[in-house]
Amino acid sequence: MSGSSVAAAPAPASGVETMTYREALRLAMRQEMERDERVFVMGEEVGLFDGSYKVTAGLMDEFGPDRVRDTPISEEGFVGAGVGAAMLGERPIVEIMTLNFLLVAMDQVVNHAAKIGAMFGGEVRCPLVIRTPNGAGNQLTAQHSQSFDGWFAGTPGLKVVAPANPADAKGLLKAAIRDDDPVLVIENLPIYKEKGEVDLDPDLVAPIGRAAVAREGSDLTVVAHSFATVRALKVAEKLAAEKGVSLEVVDLRSLRPLDVETIAASVAKTSRVLCVEEGWPSYGVTAEIAARIQHACFDDLDAPVERLGMAEVPLPYAKELELAAMPTEDRIERAALQVLELVR
């Protein structure tokens, strides 16, 4: 596919640079589009408008409209087009404006993309990447503030990752683009502006299916992903400074496949665990984690596995009510102290 006559300056090929989460995602796409001409981007407003959240800013100028394609407001249609392109050997990156809108294309994701490899006996694969943000806290109300991580992570054949920092945003997106199976990359609205150090190496990817110990500790394990990890790290820093409490934070990074070994090793060390998510706890990610911990770490636990998530209500618009429903830092702190039996 031919590129545009207007090209952005190429990114440095080595070293470490501080950048935002959205810039790290853009770097990953640029590097993979330079590496493999089969990689292209499609979605609502990804080209001329530079993306709803400016993640794809400049890519149309650099690679042209054939490889950065604006689509109609029809998620079922363009996700289906992405599935077909992937089956024919292309490597599409489909951007959905928000995870809530992916519900319109659930049939394409769950009944087609996730099942193609098995239904065709492995002779046809579906190397499709779907990028989409989720999360609450922006007063976007009940239909635009949901976290369906657990829904999609429960789908066999679909890989699901949720980076919590710029380095993992770059590394996991690159790994997803190179994967021969469909991968859902769940981003997060509040994290887009967060900054961190990112390795510029175009060959460096973060492995799908491996959690990371984001902060080492000895008193309590907090298992989280996405924005819950960001909050947990802030709570860990505060409790260490104010109360001498040592929290170990395990960032899941990948929801399917799930790295139980890293979680179990941490729980075996601390003997207490709090699982945090932005989704609804019932039938959610923390429910699965709690079940896995109970099976793998039964003899290591000194207290029941505790969970914290979004209040199980349609999220209200009023800021005070929205905050009251969310797993904020104050709620994580109190839940951690309760598991440690330091408060009632």
Alpha-carbon gap, residue 127 to 12, rounded angstroms: 27
Q: Which of 23, 95, 112, 144 is catalytic?
A: 144
Cβ-defined contacts of 122-125 (< 8 Å, 24+): 124/87, 125/86, 125/87, 125/180, 125/181
Q: Read out DSSP for 52-112?
A: TTSTTTTHHHHH-TTTEEE--S-HHHHHHHHHHHHHTT-EEEEE-S-GGGGGGGHIIIIII
CA–CA distance, 308 with 296 (Å, rounded to integer)? 20
44, 75, 95, 333: the catalytic one is 75
Please give the backbone phi and psi of residue 52, each rounded to the nearest 5 degrees, phi first: -60, -30
Cβ–Cβ < 8 Å for 173, 29? yes
Q: Given strand 159-161, what is the order of strands in its sheet? A: 68-70, 39-43, 91-95, 129-134, 183-188, 159-161, 254-256
CB 124 within 8 A of CB 116: yes
- C-alpha 279/C-alpha 299 separation (Å) is 29
DSSP string, 154-165: TSTT-EEE---S
**End-to-end CA distance of the chain, in Å?**
63
Sheet holding 212-215, edge to edge: 212-215, 247-251, 220-224, 273-276, 306-308
Assess contact for 287 and 255: CB atoms under 8 A: no
Contacts of 259 (CB under 8 A, 6+ apart): 209, 210, 211, 252, 253
**Residue whose pair of structure tokens reads 């609205």 in the numeric block:** 189
225 flagged as catalytic = no
Which residue in the block uniquely carries the two structure tokens 């046809």? 124
Residue numbers annotated as active site: 75, 144
